[in-house]
Structure formats: C-alpha cells, structure tokens
Amino acid sequence: MAARPRALIVTADDFGLHSRVNQAVERAHRDGVLTAASLMVGAPAASDAVKRARALPQLRVGLHLVLADGDAVTPRAGIPALLDEHGRFGGNMVRDGVRFFFLPHVRKQLAREIRAQFEAFARTGLALDHVNTHKHFHLHPTVLGLILEIGREFGMKAMRLPFEANAPLWLRPWIASVKSRLDGAGILHNDYVVGIAGSGRMDEAAWLAALASLPEGVAEIYCHPAVAGECVLSDGMRDYRHADELEALLSPNVARSIRGLGARLGGFADVLNR
C-alpha cells in the first residue's frame, strides 16, 4: 500500500496538569509550531487549560485519558478497585493490566471511569480532535476495546497510534494488532509518532534530527512542554526538560525545517479528514 501524503501533527501532552504546562501550550501555539494538545480532564489545572483552549480556536484539543499515575474523575467510592488510598491511579501498569483483563468487577469500574472522562471532555464544549492515553495505556487490549466502544458515543474519530520507527521488533506485532482494531472500527490514526524514545528530551537538536529524517505518511511528534519552575510536575517527570521542549517549539530553526517539509499541518481532524 502506498504511503499517505506527508502530514505533521505537533502535540503537547498533559494539557491541564499544571498552569506551567498550560502557559507553555498557549505560547507554543500562538508563537511556535504547536498544533494540538491532549487534555487531562481530571488534572488540577484542567479548568485553566479549557479556558485557554477556548481562546485559541485553531488549537486542536483531544482527550488524554488518564488510567495510570494520575487523577481520576470519578470519586474513589465509585471506582475503589482502581485507586490508591490517596484517590489516584497507581503506576504499576503491569499489575493493573492483568486485573483489567481478568477481573470483571475491575473492568466495570474501568469502563465507568473512561466514560466519566469522555463526559467531562464533552462538558468543556471543545471539539474532540483525538484521543490518546497517559503512558500509552491503550496498547492494552481491554483498555482499547473500552475506548472504542465508549468513544464512538462521544464522536471519537481519531486516536494516536503509538508506533515509533525504531520500535523494538517484539512490539511491532502488538502495534499491528492495535492498528488493525482502529482500522476495523473506522478510527483515523497517524502512521507513526516521534517522541517515545526521546520523552522529556525533545529539545531543538532532537527536533531537527527527527525532521531531517521524517518518513512519508502522517507523523505525530509529541512532547511535554512547560515553562520553567522549581517544582517537579510529577514523580515520573523528574528528569524531563520541559523548558527545553518549549524552546524547541518556539525555535525559528524548527519552524523553518517544518516549512521545508511541505507537509500538511494541523490536528488529527485537519490532516486526516477523508
């Protein structure tokens, strides 16, 4: 099958996690190359993110479903099997993945929370450009199945395919299965991503190297920008260089390299519309 015409989606994940992330998203979209952002609807600064997004009509916003290492939307009493004593999703994704697959009562609670996050996004009034998951948890077949089932009720049309060109061989059959399920459900998706191996380190040099060797097809380059600050945004991001990632999105050199691609730019809805 021939490759699709070259297109590029530039996404910031974790929109709503902190006001510093929200500020970076707004600045990178207004003054840089950012075209899309993925919103954590249950995160502490989600309301601020929504307010900013409403003032940025060209910013394409999707749902960043959080099912690990983050805040839920449903109160703990409604999904006690999913949350720790602090009311948060834990970080042991292997253990949780086994429980999602084998335990019906856990799957029922998982479906409840996924639906709650879609409902919370719908209440923002923002157009749903795409859906993805924190830490790519939709690679799990149970999680993906529930998203496909529930998402169609909320107009979901596109999802991130978390396939990077240098992905290990053992992962490729799994990615192919995810792609097949997305295609079978009529859900649009990118051909590949850039940003997994370089997570938290997508500085100008990383961007220029990626753009210089970008294959044909629909690419999504995603990153985690934030303005500089003293506190760590999350335990899993202690070594992330958020400010460097913001500077890359604002870099004239990166913008020039993107223009040189001659690619179609925008969010999922812009580059994948059929």
Residue 72 in any domain: the answer is no
Closest C-alpha among 23, 81, 270 to residue 157: 270
> What's the chain's average pLDDT?
95
> Is residue 200 in a domain?
yes
What is the total count of domains within the chain?
1
Residue 235 is predicted with a pLDDT of 84
Whole-angstrom CA distances from 266 to 25, 36, 152, 159, 243 are 15, 7, 22, 15, 23
Question: Looking up tokens 């899309």, which residue turns up?
Answer: 36
CA distance 91 to 78: 20
User: What CATH number is given to the structural domain containing 243?
Assistant: 3.20.20.370
Average pLDDT of the residues in 2-26 = 94
User: 175: pLDDT confidence band, cut at 50, 70 and 90?
Assistant: very high
Question: Other C-beta atoms within 10 Å of 23: how many?
Answer: 18
Does some domain include residue 121?
A: no
Mean pLDDT over residues 115-133, rounded? Answer: 98
- The domain in which residue 187 lies consists of 7-65+129-140+156-272
Give the CA radius of gyration of the chain. Answer: 18
Does residue 3 surpass a pLDDT of 80?
A: no
pTM summary value: 0.95
Share of the chain above pLDDT 70, in %: 99
- Residue 180 belongs to a domain: yes
Antiparallel, parallel or unpaired: β 158-159 and 218-223:
unpaired
Per cent of the chain over pLDDT 90 is 91
Q: What mean pLDDT do residues 113-122 have? A: 98
Work out whether the CA dihedral 121, 86, 146, 220 comes out positive or negative: positive
Interval 105-120 mean pLDDT = 98
Q: Does 40 have pLDDT greater than 80? A: yes
Output the pLDDT for position 2.
Answer: 59
Q: Which pLDDT score is estimated for 261?
A: 96
Identify whether 46 is part of a domain: yes
DSSP sequence for the chain = -PPPPPEEEEEEEEETS-HHHHHHHHHHHHHSS--EEEE-TTSTTHHHHHHHHHT-TTSEEEEEE--SSEE-SS-GGG-TTTB-TTSEE-S-HHHHHHHHHH-HHHHHHHHHHHHHHHHHHHHHT-----EEEGGGGGGSHHHHHHHHHHHGGGT--EE----BTT--GGGHHHHHHHHHHHHHTT-EE-SEEE-STTTT---HHHHHHHHHTPPSSEEEEEE------SS-S-GGGTT--HHHHHHHHH-HHHHHHHHHHT-EES-HHHHH--
Angle separating helix axes 204-212 and 242-250, nearest 10 degrees: 50
Q: What is the tens place of the pLDDT at every residue in 189-239? A: 999 999 999 999 999 999 999 999 999 999 999 999 999 998 889 888 999
pLDDT for residue 232 = 86
pLDDT class of 177 with cuts at 50, 70, 90: very high
Per-residue pLDDT at 274:
55
- Cα separation, 23 vs 164, in Å, equals 28
Residue 33 counted as domain residue: yes
Q: Does residue 76 lie in a domain region?
A: no
Q: Quick check: is 186 in a domain?
A: yes
